[in-house]
Structure 1
Amino acid sequence: MIKIISIAALALTMASCASVENILNSPSDTPSVTKTMTATNAEKGLITMQSHHSVQETADKLAAIIESKGMKVFARVDHQKNAQGVDLTLRPTQVIMFGNPKAGTPLMNCEQSVAIDLPQKILISEDADKKVWLSYNDPQYLKTRHNIKGCDTVIDNISKALNGVSTAAVAK
């Protein structure tokens, strides 16, 4: 039952970032990384970056980086493979679920409802133009969604960690 709910939530996340329309370059980006966000994604609290690698390569690189930082990869869902298993087609789409209780527990102690959005999830998908995108929930969005108060340092640390592993995974 938990797997079905998680897969449904991931499918909704995947559907929300199916297209990327506006490219925003921020001064904090490395030259090899282009940050992107659509109006729809901004409303849904997603941060999206273009990858310079295939979905598989990006996901493999991301998983290795996550583990090298002392976090645990709890699950890796290959939606394309699952679709093929029921004779359906889907462009390459993977989700990596990961975390660290040292980061998540203090956040849940601030507002326990945030547990519905943990562990962290990062989506890597290929669009119709064969561009690869990496997306994750913006911790500031989670702060607002769950009305988290008094945990700005925790939110900032999680934001930095997500940005760091994501930027490293999509870079050349």
Structure 2
Amino acid sequence: MSSSIMYAQEGITTIQSDFSVEETANRLEKVLTDNGITIFNKIDHRQGASGVDMELSPTILFIIGNPKLGTPVMQCAQTAAIDLPQKMLIWENSEGVVQVGYNNPEYLKKRHSVTGCDEVLKKIDDALHNFSESAAKE
């Protein structure tokens, strides 16, 4: 794994982006689409905040999935369905640094006591890492 990976909060893997939130989101959307990942929703939280006359730094959430990978995890531990489909968050922090973050599959494994799904969790982790790197780095 790249040295650009950080663990911002328990269970969240983050990668610093070289681009703006908007450009990172555009790049992520393209890489997800190119890889056949379903984008269930794209939520612009900043836009939502402005709709109620509040301010928020740029924050975009993607809800994504691939039933071929998610279903086996739910078969191993059905409560994992509360965290699936997977989410990827792009935000600009208070220092102006743009980051891409996602729930680390190892954290989900612990949270839901998932057993028997190590291979699929590794595939998910590798995919999320690769998608993040593609969106965030030159």
Q: What TM bracket, shorter-length normalisation?
A: over 0.9
Name the structure 1 match of 2:4.
34
Within the candidate set 110, 115, 127, 1:144 is matched to 110
Q: Deviations over 1:35-76 (max 9, x none)?
A: 2223xx1xx201011000011111111011011111110000
Within the candidate set 16, 22, 27, 1:50 is matched to 16
TM-score, with structure 1 as normaliser: 0.78
Name the structure 2 match of 1:162.
128
SS at match of 2:14: strand
The answer to whether the aligner puts 1:76 opposite 2:46 as a matched pair is no
Within the candidate set 91, 116, 121, 2:87 is matched to 121
The code of the aligned residue for 1:36 comes to: M
The answer to whether the aligner puts 1:153 opposite 2:122 as a matched pair is no
TM-score, with structure 2 as normaliser: 0.96
The code of the aligned residue for 2:7 comes to: M
The code of the aligned residue for 1:68 comes to: D
How many correspondences in the alignment?
138
User: For residues 98-109 of structure 1, what are the structure 2 equivalents within 5 Å?
Assistant: 98-109=64-75
Q: Measure the CA separation in 1 of the matches of 2:62 and 2:29.
A: 7
The code of the aligned residue for 1:78 comes to: D
Q: Deviations over 1:126-171 (max 9, x none)?
A: 0122110111000000000000001110111111111110111101
The answer to which structure, 1 or 2, has the higher relative contact order (CA under 8 A, 6+ apart) is: 2
Q: Which runs of 4+ in 1 moved over 3 A?
A: none
Structure whose residues are more often helix by fraction = 1
Structure whose residues are more often strand by fraction = 2
Within the candidate set 46, 49, 53, 1:87 is matched to 53
CA RMSD of aligned residues (A): 1.0
Q: Measure the CA separation in 1 of the matches of 2:72 and 2:12.
A: 22
